[in-house]
A and B are shown apart, each in its own frame.
Chain A
Amino acid sequence: MEILTPSFGLIFWMVLIFGTVFFLLAKFGFPTITKMMEKRSEHIARSLRDAEEAKKLLVQMDKKYQQMMQEARKEQGELLDQARKAAQQMIDDAKGQASTEAAAIITRAREEIEQEKKEAVAEIRNSAVNLSIALSEKILREKLSSDAAQNSLIQKMLNELGDYSN
């Protein structure tokens, strides 16, 4: 029955050895390890949660982005349309203005031409008068080269003047 009788010496040493091992491991060993593992498992759990949230946020952001893109595209289209219209408007306006201006220029030119023409006619008439005067002067000078002719003319004029004075 030696197998079933615990010996005092072994119990003594067992208590001593296990006590020492327990003291050392409970003070410096296991709490550190379990705390760190706890910390890590918490960290992992938190990271997973964060990742899930980030994923949700990403989906949301993507939706927002798509929406924004759509809006921007729409706006771009509108802007382009507007710009095209404005350009068309401007071209039309410019065309209209150009045509009225051109018409004004033409009328003014026409007026000027008319004026010039009138002036030219007047000048021609003037020069014709002068020419005729000069000619008539020459003719008269030719006609009145004799004293008799001058006298008769003076006479004639005096007569005429007399007629007018009467």
Chain B
Amino acid sequence: MKRFILISAILLLACTSASASGKESVEGGFDMQEYLFGHVLDSYQWHITSWRGHHLSIPLPVILFGQEGPAVFLSDKLEDGSSYKGFFIPEDGPNKGKIVELDSSGNQVRPIDISITKNVLSLMFSAVLLVWLILACSRWYRRHDVLHEAPTGIAALLEPIINMINEDVIKDSVGPQHERFSPYLLTAFFFILINNLMGIIPIFPGGANVTGNIAVTLCMAIFTFISVNLFGDRHYYKEIFWPDVPMFLKAIPIMPVIEIVGMFTKPISLMVRLFANIFAGHVLILSVVALIFITASMGPVLNGSMTLVSVLFGIFMDCLELLVAFIQAYVFTMLSSVYIGMAHPKRKLTQ
């Protein structure tokens, strides 16, 4: 409890000083929209902090395939609206914040853009971390006799989680063929979990809103869609195109249409659920912290008290986000398992 108070006091101090500096740098009020979207959206450089008007950020490689062939350069070349090799970032308009070039008639066009953005770097970092963790765990199992030794180290950390997901979620939901799908489902679970957790850490390798980005959740949903529909057996497809319902429901193809729509709503629901939860979590924490900056111009008493409220509520929100990080990874895995299990209706016979 003493430690908790100490940490809160330090945070409070840090935040009040930050708010003081924020007051200096942002004249004429605090731009909430800029602040929020700057934190939750992807960007070409990794912004760490601003100090007295100077931005401290890590430039990241930009990879483009434009009209004049490929171009690779660091993102600091395009800072503050400057142009490099014909590429620039417009301040507003439909392509606001994206790298564009001008075509022959002077219109803004988007080149093929596979830049290593903040989210990509964060993804890479979590991927390396995840691969290292899991391979270290599997190395432990290869080098030790599981029948006579209790797991230690990373294996002891990961085994309960892997066991819980594998036994309670995958085996129960997928059914008899679970061994084919458990590597994918476990990878998906840990991939989402580690990215969720990294997103909660506010400083450098973390803090990117990866699983709260629709592109990432779209990919995850597509992978689940593929593993459901590519490995679905003929009973599954019969259920979709010729289900056991009265004939008139098939003659006017109501049921097949519903079923086909259902094929797509399932991954879409997965995509939106994960995206919305993590995105909302980030926005909530950022809003709570923003209270400090918003009240900075309202006098020291209000600002001080709101800072205390903000820090306490921020701690609470962070704890909640830890829970959400796990729950969303769990839910995604469980629903994917259920969908895969539904694509193998033999399970119904065994029930």
Residues of A within 8 A of B306 (CB): none
Whether A3 touches B279, Cβ cut-off 8 Å, given contacts A12-B114, A30-B182, is yes
Closest chain A residue to B41 by CB distance?
A2
Central interface residue in A28, A34, A43, by most chain B CB within 10 Å: A34
Whether A21 touches B117, Cβ cut-off 8 Å, given contacts A7-B215, A15-B219, A28-B138, is no
Inter-chain CA distance A17–B131, complex, in Å, is 11
Which residues of chain A from 1 to 55 have a CB within 8 Å of any chain B CB? 2-15, 17-18, 20-22, 24-26, 28-34, 36-37, 39-40, 43
Residues of A within 8 A of B239 (CB): none
Closest chain A residue to B150 by CB distance?
A40
Whether A11 touches B215, Cβ cut-off 8 Å, given contacts A30-B183, A36-B141, A43-B147, is yes
Whether A21 touches B131, Cβ cut-off 8 Å, given contacts A13-B114, A30-B186, is yes
B184/A28 in contact, CB under 8 A: no
Inter-chain CA distance A29–B41, complex, in Å, is 32
Q: Does B287 contact A (CB under 8 A)?
A: no
Selected from B96, B115, B219, the residue in CB contact (under 8 A) with A11 is B219
Closest chain B residue to A35 by CB distance?
B141
Q: Does B137 contact A (CB under 8 A)?
A: yes
Selected from B113, B162, B219, the residue in CB contact (under 8 A) with A30 is B162
B138/A30 in contact, CB under 8 A: yes
Inter-chain CA distance A29–B140, complex, in Å, is 11
Q: Does B108 contact A (CB under 8 A)?
A: no
Which residues of chain B from 187 to 227 have a CB within 8 Å of any chain A CB? 187, 190-191, 213-216, 218-220, 223
Inter-chain CA distance A25–B188, complex, in Å, is 11
A29/B137 in contact, CB under 8 A: yes
B119/A8 in contact, CB under 8 A: no
Selected from A5, A6, A37, the residue in CB contact (under 8 A) with B146 is A37
Closest chain B residue to A42 by CB distance?
B147
Whether A39 touches B146, Cβ cut-off 8 Å, given contacts A17-B124, A33-B138, is yes
Q: Does B142 contact A (CB under 8 A)?
A: yes
B112/A8 in contact, CB under 8 A: yes
Q: Does B67 contact A (CB under 8 A)?
A: no
Central interface residue in B63, B146, B182, B191, by most chain A CB within 10 Å: B146
Residues of A within 8 A of B166 (CB): 34, 37
What string of 1s and 0s marks CB contacts (under 8 Å) between B84-119 and chain A? Answer: 000000000000111000000000000011111101
Q: Does B14 contact A (CB under 8 A)?
A: no
Inter-chain CA distance A59–B96, complex, in Å, is 82
Q: How many residues in A have their beta carbons less than 8 Å from beta carbons of B?
A: 34
Q: Does B135 contact A (CB under 8 A)?
A: yes
Residues of B within 8 A of A20 (CB): 127
Which residues of chain B from 272 to 315 have a CB within 8 Å of any chain A CB? 279
Residues of A within 8 A of B147 (CB): 39-40, 43
Inter-chain CA distance A13–B190, complex, in Å, is 18
Inter-chain CA distance A67–B141, complex, in Å, is 49
Inter-chain CA distance A34–B191, complex, in Å, is 17
Residues of A within 8 A of B158 (CB): 33
Inter-chain CA distance A17–B116, complex, in Å, is 12
Inter-chain CA distance A12–B63, complex, in Å, is 12
Inter-chain CA distance A37–B170, complex, in Å, is 14
A13/B123 in contact, CB under 8 A: yes
Closest chain B residue to A44 by CB distance?
B147
Residues of B within 8 A of A28 (CB): 135, 138
Which residues of chain B from 134 to 170 have a CB within 8 Å of any chain A CB? 134-135, 137-138, 141-142, 146-147, 158-159, 162-163, 166
Inter-chain CA distance A32–B151, complex, in Å, is 14
Inter-chain CA distance A43–B127, complex, in Å, is 33
Closest chain B residue to A39 by CB distance?
B146
CB distance from B183 to the nearest CB of A (A): 4
| Selected A-B contacts with CB under 8 Å, 12 pairs | A6-B215, A6-B218, A7-B113, A9-B113, A13-B114, A21-B130, A22-B183, A29-B138, A29-B183, A33-B138, A33-B159, A34-B166
Other A-B pairs, 4, CB within 8 Å; known A2-B96, A30-B183:
A12-B114, A29-B137, A30-B182, A36-B141
Closest 8 CB pairs of A and B: A6-B215, A26-B183, A10-B215, A29-B134, A32-B138, A36-B141, A14-B219, A13-B120
